[in-house]
Chains A and B, each alone.
Chain A
Amino acid sequence: MLSKVTSFALVGLDGVPVTAETDINNGIPAYELVGLPDAAVKESRERVRSALKNSGRKFPLQKITVNLAPADIKKEGSAFDLAIAVGILKATGQLKADCEGIVFLGELALDGALRPATGILPLLISAKAAGYKTFIIPAGNAAEAAYIEGIEAIAAENLSAVMDHLSGLKPLSPVPVRAYERGVKGEYKFDMAYVKGQATAKRALEVAVAGGHNILLIGPPGTGKTMLARCIPGIMPDMTFEEALEVTKIHSVAGILGAGGIVDIRPFRSPHHTATTVSMCGGGTRTVKPGEISLAHHGVLFLDEMPEYHRSTLEALRQPLEDGVITVTRSGGAVTFPANFMLCASMNPCPCGNYGSADRVCTCTPAAIRKYRARVSGPLLDRIDIQVEVDTVKYEDLAGAALEENSAAVKKRVERAREVQRARFSGPLTNSDMGERELKKFCLLSRECEEILRMSFESLKLSARARSRIIKVARTIADMAESERICPEHILEAVSYRKYDNMS
């Protein structure tokens, strides 16, 4: 007898329908699995055999052929187990119910229990778009499915429960739909209130987040650069449902989704400086997995000690920084992952780290400092609008009880500035996304401002490439001050965030 059961395979961030066709014939007992399965899929036969037996069903001692159609895409992972098991049960007549239009997803344990699979959320979204309404998924993935409206997701604990549900013996009710509550559940561990002093750096962070600018923190070791960076997600505006869904899709594919079901706090990724280009940008041998920059989508990518990263890894960031997406091409095909993140980098001011320190002496020669800074290429630095110094905090400040502003207050101001920008661009764009045309349209400079800009270039020896960066940052500062026009003090403050240019 022949049976057909539907499942879904993951290609990049999208799901493709896969039909598990099972045929059982008389002959020498055998089990053939065809349709470009990878090792994990091939091993499913052992799991399915034991799961059926331990659920009180029979595994037929006949010739079994399972075909995963379409046969031309590579199938990966263990989420086909359930579909194959149901297919065998139907083909042997142990299950009579109609499975037409139901999508089966999940990995089987030897005792018949259903294990959660990775990438369930993007599969559900794709399947919904393809017209499928009913899904049977592992109970461990229920939280993910709860956020999708208009589908009937049945979360089952084990194979027996699936059987009982399908045959109508003990029907399971679908996972109740959960509404996304913006920014309620999410909690950030780090708060600006815990960062003592550093008023300049905090202000720079606020400006950076308000305008979507990338930021470079320059300071001696142990001055709280990492702590400051970790505060960034907490002052970013709460994610919308669409944003959260996008992030969840990526995290689901990468298999790093927590129990919450949906990622509702902005991701903060800090890959170590030994990270390879592939781990950063995404890749893999056959199917492509998202890299750190995609995992940081709608959040923060923090590069601690930026000059220590491999040059090629840093250079690879340039294109995604510009486009907000990355296309990874492998022999198995090309996949585009979203990678719209805020870059926060940190570095020491010089090789010994003490340049500009009040109490320790820098032993570096100017030539050594130039060489150290040259490790970060100009084109990459060009994409970092704000460069600010983080300095040693005095002990009195650290020990002091002075109350610092908390992240919530900063976030309010950021959200207000973002609103101004939304109104300006009539969309979710930020000031950092402005091109030459928008610059001309929205950033008219008065003659006084032009004069100041010219003066600052001359006396502070700024590079010419910094000009549009300064204007964009000045626009953000003006937005924060709710000023229609860019005033001289906005330009000057923006100039003060070009520390890297005028330090030496």
Chain B
Amino acid sequence: MGYTKEEKAMIWLDSFLLDYAKKAAVLKMFRDPYAAVSRFFEKEREIGAVVGEEMLEKMRASLYDAAYLQGVLSAYERAGIACVTCFSEDYPEALRAADEPPFILYCKGNLALLHERKFAIVGSRRTPPQAAKRAERIAQGLSRAFVIVTGHADGGDTAAIAGALESGRIICVLAFGFSHLSSAENGKLLERVAERGLLVTEYAPAQSARKYTFPARNRIIAGLAEGVLVVSGGEKSGTRITARYAYDFGRDVFAFPYAIGDPMGAGCNQLIKDYAKLTEDLVDITSVFGINLTEKESETLSSAEQQVYDCFGGAPLHISEIAAKTGKKEHELSPVLIMLAMKKKLVSCGGNRWAKT
């Protein structure tokens, strides 16, 4: 992959794992990034004041070493990592408008996805099964018009990945560099995303996940997308940070409603109170964007299945309640319930309770 000299200068600067603020400060001293290399020695003292003596020594040494940058670039290429810098045509325009746009997006996968319309679906690790299933279905439906952007955690993010992975229209934004991919909690799944969709991170490969990299990552999710759907989140969930960024960047925010006092959804309800649109189904999102995506009716139900399915309202039902409503025995119900789960109409919530997706 050919990089311009400005881009190469950016990649060089990024390879030292500096904080965003320090990188910004260094770049501010020069007209363009290349000047940071060509006129490095003129401004050594100022740079040293920003990055510290030790780091300055490292940077200086790397400039004396002709093979340094080549080594970095070929290592990236071997690992299949493409660097999309803010000088690249591939750099998403929407992200430029965001706060502190990342200087480089390290990408693995299908770069073409960056040019498409994007919509974010995020959720906390503790997402109730029925919300996860619904998020999965919405992700699947929306992926026909949008590329789905999400994070990489269990729960809501995983549900969004599960929905969109088949179509390949999925971007996962990571809170760490690619070297830490295999040891991540969802490493296997993320590798499949890299194969079919796209993985994006602003961190150089060696950067590991830190407490602060997650909220910083969330600004990229919000920045990339035209809208954000929050599927779950408690009072202090990171999903609220994503939603806040999205709101600040002028994106539409959507959220699933939750029952009063449900700790898994208190954050969602708060968002709805503040600025998010209450969202129950795909159409609540598509209507805002003026597009029409009809969910294809997946499968027909037998009369027994229909009878069971009709028992359900919003809340999960225990198998004994279904038995009472249909007048059937519990063990006659379990085949029907499993069939409905296979048809993705119902989902098991644990403890022999079931809910509509």
User: Measuring CB to CB, which residues of chain A are less than 8 angstroms from any residue of chain B?
Assistant: 197, 199-200, 203, 219-220, 349, 355-358, 361-367, 389, 391-392, 397, 452, 455-456, 459-460, 488-490, 492-493, 495-496, 502-503
Q: Is A366 a contact of B338 with CB atoms below 8 Å?
A: no
Q: Is B342 a contact of A456 with CB atoms below 8 Å?
A: yes
5 A-B pairs with C-beta separation under 8 A: A356-B351, A391-B318, A456-B338, A460-B338, A493-B335
- Please indicate the chain B residues that have their CB under 8 angstroms from the CB of A503 in the complex: 348, 350
Q: Is B154 a contact of A203 with CB atoms below 8 Å?
A: no
The reply on B125 being an interface residue by CB < 8 A is: yes
From B63-71, B200-208, B242-250, B326-334, give the one contacting chain A: B326-334
CB B334 to nearest CB in A, in angstroms, measures 4
CB A326 to nearest CB in B, in angstroms, measures 35
Task: Indicate whether A493 sits within 8 Å of B318 (C-beta atoms), given known contacts A365-B125, A389-B350.
Answer: no
> Which 3 interchain pairs have the tightest Cβ spacing?
A356-B350, A356-B351, A492-B335
CB A360 to nearest CB in B, in angstroms, measures 10
Task: Indicate whether A493 sits within 8 Å of B351 (C-beta atoms), given known contacts A199-B319, A460-B342.
Answer: no
Residue of A389, A460, A488, A502 near B335 (CB, 8 A) is A488
CB B59 to nearest CB in A, in angstroms, measures 38
Q: Is A197 a contact of B264 with CB atoms below 8 Å?
A: no
Residue of B316, B318, B339, B349 near A492 (CB, 8 A) is B339
User: Measuring CB to CB, which residues of chain B are less than 8 angstroms from any residue of chain A?
Assistant: 125-126, 154-155, 158, 185, 263-264, 316, 318-320, 323, 329-332, 334-339, 341-344, 348-353
- Please indicate the chain B residues that have their CB under 8 angstroms from the CB of A502 in the complex: 348
- Please indicate the chain A residues that have their CB under 8 angstroms from the CB of B353 in the complex: 356, 358, 391
Residue of B158, B330, B344 near A199 (CB, 8 A) is B330
Q: Is B320 a contact of A366 with CB atoms below 8 Å?
A: no
- Please indicate the chain B residues that have their CB under 8 angstroms from the CB of A365 in the complex: 125-126, 154-155
Q: Is B331 a contact of A349 with CB atoms below 8 Å?
A: no
Residue of A197, A199, A355 near B331 (CB, 8 A) is A199
CB A461 to nearest CB in B, in angstroms, measures 10
Q: How far is the CA of A332 from the CA of B351 in the complex (A)?
A: 50
Q: How far is the CA of A362 from the CA of B337 in the complex (A)?
A: 24
Q: Is B351 a contact of A459 with CB atoms below 8 Å?
A: no
Q: How far is the CA of A497 from the CA of B331 in the complex (A)?
A: 11
Q: Is A496 a contact of B335 with CB atoms below 8 Å?
A: yes
CB A199 to nearest CB in B, in angstroms, measures 4
- Please indicate the chain A residues that have their CB under 8 angstroms from the CB of B349 in the complex: 356
Q: Is B344 a contact of A200 with CB atoms below 8 Å?
A: no
Residue of B185, B337, B339, B351 near A357 (CB, 8 A) is B351
CB A459 to nearest CB in B, in angstroms, measures 4
Residue of A358, A366, A392, A495 near B154 (CB, 8 A) is A366
Q: How far is the CA of A158 from the CA of B336 in the complex (A)?
A: 69
Q: How far is the CA of A416 from the CA of B76 in the complex (A)?
A: 68
Query: Can you name 4 extra interface pairs (CB under 8 A) apart from A349-B350, A361-B264?
Result: A199-B329, A200-B319, A365-B125, A366-B155
Q: Is B341 a contact of A199 with CB atoms below 8 Å?
A: no
- Please indicate the chain B residues that have their CB under 8 angstroms from the CB of A358 in the complex: 316, 318, 351, 353
Q: How far is the CA of A357 from the CA of B126 in the complex (A)?
A: 14
Q: How far is the CA of A41 from the CA of B226 in the complex (A)?
A: 88
Q: Is B323 a contact of A199 with CB atoms below 8 Å?
A: yes
Q: Is A203 a contact of B350 with CB atoms below 8 Å?
A: no
Q: Is A203 a contact of B330 with CB atoms below 8 Å?
A: yes
- Please indicate the chain B residues that have their CB under 8 angstroms from the CB of A361 in the complex: 263-264
Q: How far is the CA of A367 from the CA of B336 in the complex (A)?
A: 30
CB A409 to nearest CB in B, in angstroms, measures 14
Q: Is B351 a contact of A391 with CB atoms below 8 Å?
A: yes
CB nearest neighbor in A for B330: A199
CB A158 to nearest CB in B, in angstroms, measures 60
CB nearest neighbor in B for A350: B350
Q: How far is the CA of A488 from the CA of B336 in the complex (A)?
A: 10
CB B185 to nearest CB in A, in angstroms, measures 5
- Please indicate the chain B residues that have their CB under 8 angstroms from the CB of A219 in the complex: 351
CB B165 to nearest CB in A, in angstroms, measures 13
- Please indicate the chain B residues that have their CB under 8 angstroms from the CB of A355 in the complex: 350-351
Residue of B318, B334, B337, B344 near A459 (CB, 8 A) is B344
Q: Is B342 a contact of A459 with CB atoms below 8 Å?
A: yes
Q: Is B318 a contact of A367 with CB atoms below 8 Å?
A: no
Q: How far is the CA of A361 from the CA of B259 in the complex (A)?
A: 13
CB A485 to nearest CB in B, in angstroms, measures 15
CB A453 to nearest CB in B, in angstroms, measures 11
Residue of A197, A389, A460 near B341 (CB, 8 A) is A460
- Please indicate the chain A residues that have their CB under 8 angstroms from the CB of B332 in the complex: 489
Q: Is A493 a contact of B352 with CB atoms below 8 Å?
A: no
Q: How far is the CA of A459 from the CA of B344 in the complex (A)?
A: 8
- Please indicate the chain B residues that have their CB under 8 angstroms from the CB of A357 in the complex: 350-351
Q: How far is the CA of A362 from the CA of B262 in the complex (A)?
A: 11
Q: How far is the CA of A492 from the CA of B335 in the complex (A)?
A: 5
Residue of B329, B339, B343, B352 near A391 (CB, 8 A) is B352
- Please indicate the chain A residues that have their CB under 8 angstroms from the CB of B337 in the complex: 496
- Please indicate the chain A residues that have their CB under 8 angstroms from the CB of B330 in the complex: 199-200, 203
Q: How far is the CA of A496 from the CA of B344 in the complex (A)?
A: 15
- Please indicate the chain A residues that have their CB under 8 angstroms from the CB of B323 in the complex: 199
CB nearest neighbor in A for B185: A367
Q: How far is the CA of A503 from the CA of B332 in the complex (A)?
A: 21
- Please indicate the chain B residues that have their CB under 8 angstroms from the CB of A363 in the complex: 126
- Please indicate the chain A residues that have their CB under 8 angstroms from the CB of B154 in the complex: 365-367
Interface centre among A197, A389, A502 (most CB of B within 10 A): A389
Q: How far is the CA of A349 from the CA of B349 in the complex (A)?
A: 12
CB nearest neighbor in A for B331: A203
CB A404 to nearest CB in B, in angstroms, measures 13
CB nearest neighbor in B for A489: B335
Q: Is B318 a contact of A199 with CB atoms below 8 Å?
A: no
Q: How far is the CA of A171 from the CA of B336 in the complex (A)?
A: 72
Q: How far is the CA of A358 from the CA of B332 in the complex (A)?
A: 23
Q: Is B334 a contact of A200 with CB atoms below 8 Å?
A: yes
Q: Is A389 a contact of B352 with CB atoms below 8 Å?
A: yes
Q: Is A496 a contact of B334 with CB atoms below 8 Å?
A: yes
Q: How far is the CA of A456 from the CA of B338 in the complex (A)?
A: 8
CB B191 to nearest CB in A, in angstroms, measures 17
CB A12 to nearest CB in B, in angstroms, measures 43
Q: Is A493 a contact of B264 with CB atoms below 8 Å?
A: no
Q: How far is the CA of A490 from the CA of B335 in the complex (A)?
A: 8
CB nearest neighbor in A for B316: A358
CB nearest neighbor in B for A369: B154
Residue of B316, B320, B331 near A493 (CB, 8 A) is B331
